[in-house]
Amino acid sequence: MNFDRMRALLLEQAVQGKLVPQRNDEPAVEQIGEAPKIEPFAIPKKWKWVRLNAVGKVIGGGTPKTGVSAYWNGDIPWITPADLGKNHDQIIYSGAKSITQKGLDESAARLMPKGSIVYSSRAPIGHIAIAGNDLCTNQGCKSFVPESKCISTEWAYYMLIARTSDIQSRASGTTFKEISGKGMGETWISLPPLPEQIRIVTKIEKSFTEINRAEKAYRELQTLTAVLRKKILQEAVMGKLVPQLDGEPAVEQIGDAPEDVPFAIPGKWKWVQLKRLVQSASQKVPDKAFTYIDVSSINGFKITSPKRLDASSAPSRARKIVQSGSVLYSTVRPYLMNVCVIDRVEEETIASTAFATMLCREAIINTFLFYVLISPFFTEYVKSVQRGASYPAITDRDLQRAWIPVPPIEEQRRIVAKVEELMAQVDRLAT
């Protein structure tokens, strides 16, 4: 669910006069300064379009010399765009640094009164908060100080949020975009009668509280469902998800048995190294048009964006032949869980060498292997052998050496069916 979009739509209605009804007993707003030749959007008759600088002052900030210790670690809060970005409340009181009165007096920094609206004017444009006390900012912020009795601080705050896309469109710069103080002041804002501003702000804040509550509940539900999915998969690979049946034959040991096992499994199951259960895909240099699967092609354990390429435009990593029934496991950044089963291949398909591309032998079915590969147990194994901090990866050799639990074939099918049933229930819960 897109809660940010909900908030944006609510503000859009608010600044267009569609959130609360207008009252006949409220006087119309008088025009302050010039009127726009073309209104940005339609507003009620009693409202007016005004420039921001017609109802207050736009003031820039500054930075005392960093090499002068007498300027820093004082009692005056000093706000930067980074501080605004880290602040998740409507009000801001302080930032990571503070300055002294001497630093304020001998720099371009200006002391902004409580109630000023602090707005990041670059890197990026649009972080915003209301000053909860007197403070100052660096040059990456523009502060708006309401001066007219016809505009409330809270209305100006929400109006600037709603007009951020307009402000961004008028910014300039090569290294990064920035809105100047003059450009900020020329921003057109819609202005309702003051009593209506108060009613709209009250409605906005009540609605935002409800949206925030819903978002929190949704996040908690997502966390819960993630835990449930992991629990289902772990129970599946441990033999606790479906009952074992007396009539099913035990799995024969394939290859050597491990000296130590990660956990106990049912008596008919066996621990087997992955290399004994799968056949690795052959490789080739593409010589004709083909469907290419790279890591970005997988989303939600499904192929969502394969690429159709000519042999002449084949990437150097396009080498691994994909057949029907193949299991693909990304060995690059495995924490992203780019894993999937390819049910059917109807035309030549080649995967990136970033994948371990496997065909299952008789002892294991591909869907059961898939659930093993995405289980918490296997994820922990991968974490223990992967290399690289910024770009973690697991080698095909280390992947093949992994020990995995193998139930009888028919039990594998029952486990897969049960996992899919339970996952569908969790999905319904999550939505």
**Alpha-carbon span 378 to 362, nearest angstrom:** 21
Number of Cα atoms under 13 Å in the Cβ half of residue 157: 20
Distance set, CA 139 to CA 4, 61, 322 (Å): 28, 4, 55
Using alpha carbons only, give the angle 362, 368, 369 rounded to the nearest 5 degrees.
Answer: 75
Q: Are residues 256 and 359 in the same domain?
A: yes
Q: Are residues 331 and 202 in the same domain?
A: no
Of 162, 191, 210, which residue sits at a domain end?
Answer: 210
pTM for this predicted structure: 0.77
**Alpha-carbon span 148 to 7, nearest angstrom:** 27
Does the residue 415 lie in any domain? yes
**Alpha-carbon span 317 to 315, nearest angstrom:** 5
Residue with tokens 């790279």: 294
Q: Are residues 42 and 138 in the same domain?
A: yes
Does the residue 400 lie in any domain? yes
Give me the number of domains the chain comprises: 2
340-389 residue pLDDT tens? 999 998 899 999 999 999 999 999 999 999 999 999 999 999 999 999 88
Q: What is the CATH classification number for the domain harbouring 402?
A: 3.90.220.20
160-212 residue pLDDT tens? 999 999 999 999 988 889 999 999 999 999 999 999 999 999 999 999 999 99
Helices 376-385, 194-237: inter-axial angle, 10-degree rounding:
90
Q: Are residues 341 and 409 in the same domain?
A: yes
Task: Tokens for 342, please give them.
Answer: 């390819």
3-state percent helix, strand, coil for the chain, nearest multiple of 5: 35, 25, 40
Give the chain's length: 431
Q: Are residues 46 and 127 in the same domain?
A: yes
Does the residue 231 lie in any domain? no
290-348 residue pLDDT tens? 999 999 999 989 999 889 999 999 999 999 999 999 999 999 999 999 999 999 988 99
Does the residue 232 lie in any domain? no
pLDDT at 64 over 80: yes
Q: Are residues 167 and 262 in the same domain?
A: no
Q: Are residues 153 and 263 in the same domain?
A: no
Q: Are residues 195 and 331 in the same domain?
A: no
pLDDT at 390 over 90: no
Answer left, alpha or beta for residue 268, where phi above 0 means left and psi between -120 and 50 means alpha: alpha
Burial degree of 125 (CB within 10 A; 0-12, 13-18, 19+): buried
Q: Are residues 299 and 245 in the same domain?
A: yes
Does the residue 218 lie in any domain? no
Q: Which residues pair with 98 in a beta bridge?
A: 77
Torsion sign across C-alpha atoms 188, 192, 193, 196: negative
Range of the domain at 21: 3-210
Task: Report which secondary-structure segment, H or E, holds 92.
Answer: strand 91-92
Whether the CB-CB separation of 141 and 92 falls below 8 Å is answered with: no
Q: Are residues 197 and 334 in the same domain?
A: no
Average pLDDT, the chain: 95
Q: Are residues 166 and 289 in the same domain?
A: no
Give the residue-averaged pLDDT of 60-78.
97
**Alpha-carbon span 88 to 86, nearest angstrom:** 6
Does the residue 290 lie in any domain? yes
Q: Are residues 90 and 148 in the same domain?
A: yes
Residue with tokens 């100080």: 145
Does the residue 233 lie in any domain? no
Does the residue 120 lie in any domain? yes
Percent of the chain exceeding pLDDT 90 equals: 93
